[in-house]
Amino acid sequence: MSPRGVVITGIGLVSALGEGNEAHWAKLTAEHPQPSFDERRFAPYPVHAVPEIDWGRQIPKRGDQRQMEAWQRLGTYTAGLALDDARIKGDEALCSTMDMVVAAAGGERDEAVDSAILAASQTRPDLGMLLNEKLTTELRPTLFLAQLSNLLAGNISIVHKVTGSSRTFMGEEGSGVSAIDTAAARIRSGQSTHMLVGSALNAEHPETLLNYELGGYLHRGPWQPLWQRRQADGGGVVAGSGAAFLVLEERGHAEKRGASIYGELGQVASANSLRDEKFADSLEGLFARVDPQSQHQLVISGASGAHAATTAERATLDRGGRPYRAFSTLTGHIKEAQFPFAVAFAALAIRHGQAYPAFDAQAEAAFNGRPQAVLATAVGFHRYEGAALISAA
């Protein structure tokens, strides 16, 4: 084993299932895992909402909390959980030399201003003048700064003192794949010894749901398990709020400081294939790139529920006889954070030496063995796909 192998030493999680690794493990390994969702607040679209959080446990200053939007608070809070888990938080030497890669979308629009503009547009013929008026009188100057995707990384640096290099990627699931791929590549090349990587999404916002629905992707009506939405109304995606952050380390660095290791992160592969009749074959080739020996015994699937992508992924996994678990059934689709969640759930299974029960017993086969290697996937609801193998260290 190379001393520059990439190992996972810290995990932070917040989703509809709860907060922290223990809460997620307990919910995911229950005899019959149960989702938590809200069908009324954004009807006809169900949403997986996060529980109430005491932000002060990871973001002590109320001033810091107030200036963050919900997705930034989720991400900053969860990054703190990962740093705590890795026993890095509060260590000035480790934090000051820690690099960071974040996957993030833009900020949240001002819903009240948007509503006011739409209402006024019903009676004003001069729409250009109306927009100029609202831009100069209704929007806070700081709103434009709050929209920047790299504000999450900035807040993590401020609150948790992670002050090494910082990169932010945008681009739905693809950004999460690229973030982990870049972090791992920097460690393998010797450019970094320890990295914080992850993402966050607030699905409990009209704009988030609108972005999905403009493409016809949202599931409508009563909630259903992910694999059973093909015949239901809508596009198959049920959105979820949440955040996932990982601490990745060079193996030698982790061993030297006596860190507890969840598992080893192997090659990360990605592609941007057309969603056509050859897509399932493309996915099979992608999965083979990270696991050429087909050694994985379980797949943690970040399938979104979007009909074309999810149907192709299921066909690929069934054809290969791979037992799989689609966690979006329980958490909802967390977009940029899908791949960080998939890697985190794979690492938890490796650490505990136990596979997850079926999240949808009608579609997912039983698996009772002790997983030694787990394939994590994120097949984008619209475009981009990625995979990685997490193995016992």
The pLDDT tens digits for 310-359 are: 999 999 999 988 899 999 999 999 999 999 999 999 999 999 999 999 99
pLDDT of 124: 87
Looking at the fold, whether 129 and 177 belong to one and the same domain comes out as no
pLDDT of 143: 55
List CB contacts of 330: < 8 A, sequence separation 6 or more.
16, 17, 27, 28, 33, 34, 35, 36, 48, 359
Separation of CA 8 from chain center: 16
Looking at the fold, whether 21 and 117 belong to one and the same domain comes out as no
Give the domain extent around 125.
Answer: 111-145
- CA pair distance 288, 380, nearest whole angstrom: 18
Instruction: Give SS3 for 47.
Output: strand
- Eight-state DSSP code of residue 49: P
Torsion over CA: 254, 193, 161, 22 (sign): negative
Which residues of the chain are under the pLDDT cut of 50?
none
Looking at the fold, whether 70 and 44 belong to one and the same domain comes out as yes
Looking at the fold, whether 193 and 311 belong to one and the same domain comes out as yes
pLDDT of 215: 94
- Look at residue 173 and tell me if it is in a domain: yes
- Look at residue 1 and tell me if it is in a domain: no
Express each pLDDT in 291-311 by its tens digit: 887 766 799 999 999 999 999
- Look at residue 359 and tell me if it is in a domain: yes
- Look at residue 242 and tell me if it is in a domain: yes
- Look at residue 49 and tell me if it is in a domain: yes
Domain count, the chain: 2
SS3 sequence of 97-161: CCEEEEECCCCCCCHHHHHHHHHHCCCCCCHHHHHHHHHHHCCCHHHHHHCCCCHHHHHHHHHHC
Share of the chain above pLDDT 90, in %: 79
pLDDT of 101: 98
Looking at the fold, whether 136 and 248 belong to one and the same domain comes out as no
Looking at the fold, whether 75 and 207 belong to one and the same domain comes out as yes
- CA pair distance 17, 34, nearest whole angstrom: 9
Angle of the 338-352 helix axis to the 172-188 helix axis, nearest 10: 60
β-pairing, 6-15 vs 263-271, is antiparallel
| CATH number of the domain that residue 93 is part of | 3.40.47.10
Which of 125, 145, 165 terminates a domain? The answer is 145
Looking at the fold, whether 119 and 208 belong to one and the same domain comes out as no
- Look at residue 88 and tell me if it is in a domain: yes
- Eight-state DSSP code of residue 38: B
CB 105 within 8 A of CB 170: yes
- Look at residue 140 and tell me if it is in a domain: yes
Instruction: Give SS3 for 194.
Output: strand
Looking at the fold, whether 44 and 174 belong to one and the same domain comes out as yes
Looking at the fold, whether 17 and 41 belong to one and the same domain comes out as yes
Question: Residues, the chain, total?
Answer: 393
Looking at the fold, whether 216 and 273 belong to one and the same domain comes out as yes
Structure tokens at 389: 């193998």
Looking at the fold, whether 135 and 157 belong to one and the same domain comes out as no
Looking at the fold, whether 121 and 208 belong to one and the same domain comes out as no
- CA pair distance 100, 195, nearest whole angstrom: 5
CB 99 within 8 A of CB 166: yes
- CA pair distance 165, 194, nearest whole angstrom: 11
Q: Which of 198, 290, 192, 163 is closest to 250 using CA atoms?
A: 192
- Look at residue 121 and tell me if it is in a domain: yes
pLDDT of 320: 85
